[in-house]
A = this chain, B = another copy of it.
Amino acid sequence: MSFARLDRAPGYRLLAEAVEREILEGRLKPGERLPTETEFATQFAVNRSTVREGIRLLEESGLVRREEGRRLFVARPETSALAQRMSHAMVMHEVTFRELWETMMALEPMAAELAAANATPEQIWALAANLTETRAVLADRQNVTRLDIAFHALVAEASGNRALLLSRDALGRLFYPAFEAVISGLPAAPERLLTAHTAIYEAIRTGDAAEARRWMERHIMDFKRGFERMGLDLAAPIALPTGQEKTK
């Protein structure tokens, strides 16, 4: 006679899930303190090492943070850490440039359209500063790429839509760095990029949502054209951009 293997989740995971539920269902709110390790151990009737591991899971999920190495409190997960995880998953699943491009064709025009409606004066100012800097470094391809990444992130932020922001962040991290080759290889590329960014900026500044969308669409289309003109393979898996992984 044989028994099936008991497939029970380990104690630290059960503890983490119980606390997670309290947080997600709003019974524990951001900023509120959590019980101490000793209190957790008593409440859940487990030993302290189980508590410690459970808390570590919660810290990793971003739902719990530690103040100065001491008391624990409920936190909102940092979206940049999540976006990084998502971009890692896409690299591991060998997502192709075409897949990224198609998704950006959905998200970026919507971001521009919403930015035209919702951008604050400070956000418009930041876009203007980005344009000025891009104009100044136009011959320096690496800097143009860096400013291109920043421009699109600023537009997304100006959309005032955090669901959109979070979705595109993971994609933007992989998508725009891939164009350094295009910007470096096609002599007309930086000038075209600047023209598009200027038009998108003007449409956002004047609150012209349809024009912002139209220019962003054209701009993202242009990226694919540049990619093809360089003889790059749309079906190739996207790689992790170099030098981007230092900020965790």
Contacts and interface: CB of A to CB of B under 8 A. Distances in A.
A95 interface: yes
Contacts of A240: 24-25
Interface in A3-22: 17, 20-21
Given A21-B245, A25-B240, A85 B102 contact: no
Contacts of A110: 102-103, 105-106
A23 B245 CA distance: 13
B85 A61 contact: yes
Contact of A89 (B56, B82, B248): B82
A171 B107 CA distance: 13
Contact of A56 (B53, B82, B114, B245): B53
Contact of A92 (B23, B95, B107): B23
Interface in A146-166: 161-164, 166
Dominant SS among interface residues on chain A: helix
B56 A103 contact: no
Interface string A28-44: 00100000000000000
A23 to B, nearest CB: 7
A170 interface: yes
Interface string A75-89: 011010010011011
Interface string A163-178: 1101110110000000
A228 interface: no
Given A56-B56, A86-B86, A164 B93 contact: no
Interface string A134-147: 00000000000000
Given A76-B89, A89-B79, A91-B24, A102 B163 contact: yes
A191 interface: no
A100 interface: yes
Contact of A100 (B30, B56, B109, B163): B163
Q: 3 nearest interchain CB pairs?
A: A106-B110, A77-B89, A167-B167
Given A163-B171, A166-B170, 16 more contacts: A24-B88, A25-B240, A76-B93, A77-B88, A79-B89, A79-B93, A89-B166, A95-B162, A95-B163, A99-B162, A102-B114, A102-B164, A103-B163, A103-B167, A167-B168, A167-B171
